[in-house]
Amino acid sequence: EVSEMSERSKQNVAHGLAWSYYVGYLKIVLPRVKKSMEEFSSANPNLLACRKTWKLHILIPLSCDVYDDLEKADSNIQYLTDLSETTMARAGTKKRVYKHSLYAVRDEENQLWHCAVEYATPLQSLYAMSQDECAAFSREERLEQAKLFYRTLEEILQGSKECAGTYRLIAYEEPGEAETHFLSREILWHLRQQHHEEFAVHEETPPLTPSTALDSAELNLQISMSDLPQPLRSDGF
């Protein structure tokens, strides 16, 4: 009966996608990110000066609109190179390759900021489900699932010791009207925040959160608690 209720409310979709994304991908690659960034920085010391940005920046658009090519999403984001690969046997596939791409993000003053960034791929599944009649997934349900995916993933990663300090979740709601460089501005905001953290720059007025960014507390107000799966742990995560 509980299973049927979960199926009807679709509350298990985002929850399952978040756990699958973590166990099947992030738990494998995130512990290796800093080593890859360190190797690249040794060969290119001027590009990754701020160690706080030696993380995988994970884009989570609540619209689930994911671009396969970030350069097409925003011309101020340019592919630079790939970080060193991780190769391992996985589920019957020998020498499966995991790697991340490094990008240069151009700001308003033509300064380049460098970081590893990619979309959370499970959002493509949520988007595809909303386009498939068999899934019976409405646009509104997709939005709620995207919010739940973000909150669930955030809780999982906060409880993961292996992944501590190796990621930055960038959840955002796209503006109603198309903006050419919206995505690069979102990424730049997070990069600047990390620079402030590293160099301890204290301002009289702290930087404001961009209007489109959403934190977990804000999302908590937008999702009914009755629709959420029960926590697996009792220690706050």
Taking every pair of C-alpha atoms in the chain, what is the biggest distance, in angstroms? 59
Q: Look at residue 86 in the predicted model and tell me its pLDDT.
A: 83
The pLDDT score that the predictor gives to residue 111 is: 95
What's the token pair of residue 52? 């706080």
End-to-end CA distance of the chain: 27
Three-state DSSP state, 20: helix
Of all helices (H) and strands (E), which one includes residue 61?
A: strand 56-61
Q: Is the dihedral of CA 79, 85, 91, 92 positive or negative?
A: positive
pTM (predicted TM-score): 0.80
User: Which pLDDT value is given to residue 231?
Assistant: 39
Question: Helix, strand, coil % (nearest 5) of the chain?
Answer: 45, 20, 35
Among 30, 38, 39, residue whose Cα is nearest residue 168: 30
DSSP 8-state secondary structure symbol assigned to residue 26:
I
For the chain (length 237 residues), average pLDDT per consecutive 10? 46 87 96 93 86 95 94 95 87 87 96 96 89 73 92 96 96 84 96 85 48 53 42 36
Q: Which domains does the chain carry?
A: 7-204 (3.40.50.12100)
